[in-house]
Amino acid sequence: MNNNNIITPRKLPGFMELLPAKQAIFDEMAEKIKSVYKQFAFSPLDTPVLELSEILLAKSGGDIDKELYAFSKGDTNICMRYDLTVPLARFVAMNSEFIEFPFKRYQIGKVYRGEKAQKGRFREFYQCDADIIGLETLPLIADAECLNIADKIFDKLGFKIVNHISNRNILFGYCEDLGVGDKTIDILIILDKLSKIGEKNAKEELYELGIESEKAEKLIYIASLCGEFEETLKKLSPLSQNQTFVQGIEDLKEIYSYLQAYKIPKENYCLDVGIIRGHNYYTGTVFEVNISNHPEFGAVCAGGRYDNLATYYTDKKMPGVGLSIGLTRLFDLLDKNDMLPTLERRNVDVQIIPLGDTLLHSLTLQSYFQDNGIICEINYDNRSFKGKLKEANKRNLPYIIVVGENEVNSLKYSFKDMRMGTQELLSKEECLNVLKNN
Q: What is the structure's pLDDT at 291?
A: 97
Kindly report, residue by residue over 337-356, the tens digit of the pLDDT: 999 988 777 788 999 999 99
Question: Is 9 a domain residue?
Answer: no
Q: Which of 106-115, 227-236, 339-348, 382-391 is the least confident region?
A: 339-348
pLDDT band at 145 (very low <50, low <70, confident <90, very high): very high
Q: What is the structure's pLDDT at 3?
A: 67
Q: In angstroms, rounded to a whole number, what is the distance separating the alpha carbons of residues 290 and 325?
A: 11
For the chain, how far is it from start to end, CA to CA, in angstroms? Answer: 50
Q: What is the structure's pLDDT at 294?
A: 94
Q: In angstroms, rounded to a whole number, what is the distance separating the alpha carbons of residues 286 and 170?
A: 11
| Segment 61-70 long-range contacts (CB within 8 Å, at least 24 positions apart) | 61/280, 62/278, 62/280, 63/115, 64/113, 64/279, 66/114, 67/113, 67/114, 67/115, 68/113, 68/114, 69/112, 69/113, 69/114
- Within this chain, do residues 302 and 395 fall inside the same structural domain, yes or no? no
- Within this chain, do residues 60 and 180 fall inside the same structural domain, yes or no? yes
- Within this chain, do residues 57 and 108 fall inside the same structural domain, yes or no? yes
Domain assignment of residue 423, given as a range: 350-436
- Average of per-residue pLDDT across 2-23: 88
- Average of per-residue pLDDT across 362-379: 96
In DSSP terms, 386 is beta-bridged to none
CATH value at residue 290: 3.30.930.10
- Within this chain, do residues 273 and 326 fall inside the same structural domain, yes or no? yes
**279 vs 172, higher pLDDT:** 172
- Average of per-residue pLDDT across 167-179: 95
How many structural domains compose the chain? 2
Look up the pTM and report it: 0.89
Closest CA to 89 of 126, 59, 128, 53: 59
- Within this chain, do residues 315 and 410 fall inside the same structural domain, yes or no? no
Q: In angstroms, rounded to a whole number, what is the distance separating the alpha carbons of residues 34 and 42?
A: 9
Question: Is 343 a domain residue?
Answer: no
Percent of the chain exceeding pLDDT 90 equals 77
pLDDT band at 243 (very low <50, low <70, confident <90, very high): very high
List C-alpha distances in Å: 396 to 71, 127, 403: 47, 31, 20
- Within this chain, do residues 112 and 75 fall inside the same structural domain, yes or no? yes
Residue 173: pLDDT above 80? Answer: yes
**277 vs 254, higher pLDDT:** 254
Question: Is 2 a domain residue?
Answer: no
For the sheet containing 76-80, what is the strand order? Answer: 50-52, 76-80, 70-73
Q: What is the structure's pLDDT at 120?
A: 73
Q: In angstroms, rounded to a whole number, what is the distance separating the alpha carbons of residues 252 and 69?
A: 37
Kindly report, residue by residue over 91-135, the tens digit of the pLDDT: 999 999 999 999 999 999 999 998 877 777 899 999 999 999 999
- Within this chain, do residues 427 and 357 fall inside the same structural domain, yes or no? yes
Question: Is 84 a domain residue?
Answer: yes
- Within this chain, do residues 332 and 364 fall inside the same structural domain, yes or no? no
Residue 196: pLDDT above 80? Answer: yes
CATH value at residue 379: 3.40.50.800
**Amino acid type, 97:** E
Residue 159: pLDDT above 70? Answer: yes
Question: Is 228 a domain residue?
Answer: yes
Question: Is 364 a domain residue?
Answer: yes
- Within this chain, do residues 207 and 247 fall inside the same structural domain, yes or no? yes
List C-alpha distances in Å: 153 to 105, 128, 142, 257, 299: 16, 11, 17, 21, 14
Residue 170: pLDDT above 80? Answer: yes
pLDDT band at 60 (very low <50, low <70, confident <90, very high): low
- Within this chain, do residues 364 and 320 fall inside the same structural domain, yes or no? no
pLDDT band at 422 (very low <50, low <70, confident <90, very high): very high
Question: Is 45 a domain residue?
Answer: yes
Cβ–Cβ under 8 Å, residues 112 and 123: yes
Instruction: Decide which of 336, 369, 404 is a domain's last residue.
Output: 336
**Assign residue 61 a region: left if phi > 0, alpha if psi is -120 to 50, beta otherwise?**
left
In DSSP terms, 118 is beta-bridged to 121
Residue 309: pLDDT above 90? Answer: no
Q: What is the structure's pLDDT at 100?
A: 95
Q: In angstroms, rounded to a whole number, what is the distance separating the alpha carbons of residues 400 and 350?
A: 6
Helix (H) or strand (E) holding 373: none
Beta strands in 100-211 (DSSP E): 103-112, 124-133, 161-167
Question: Is 14 a domain residue?
Answer: no
- Average of per-residue pLDDT across 406-427: 94
**422 vs 278, higher pLDDT:** 422
Q: Which of 62-71, 131-140, 267-276 is the least confident region?
A: 62-71
pLDDT band at 310 (very low <50, low <70, confident <90, very high): confident
Q: How many C-alpha atoms does 346 have within 13 Å on its Cβ side?
A: 17
Residue 292: pLDDT above 90? Answer: yes
Residue 385: pLDDT above 60? Answer: yes
Mean residue pLDDT across the chain: 92
Greatest C-alpha distance within the chain: 92
Q: In angstroms, rounded to a whole number, what is the distance separating the alpha carbons of residues 169 and 40?
A: 28
Q: What is the structure's pLDDT at 59?
A: 61
- Within this chain, do residues 129 and 178 fall inside the same structural domain, yes or no? yes
Q: What is the structure's pLDDT at 350?
A: 96
For the sheet containing 103-112, what is the strand order? Answer: 43-44, 103-112, 124-133, 320-326, 301-306, 285-291, 161-167, 269-272, 226-227
Instruction: Decide which of 336, 363, 382 is a domain's last residue.
Output: 336
Instruction: Decide which of 311, 336, 361 is a domain's last residue.
Output: 336
- Within this chain, do residues 95 and 172 fall inside the same structural domain, yes or no? yes
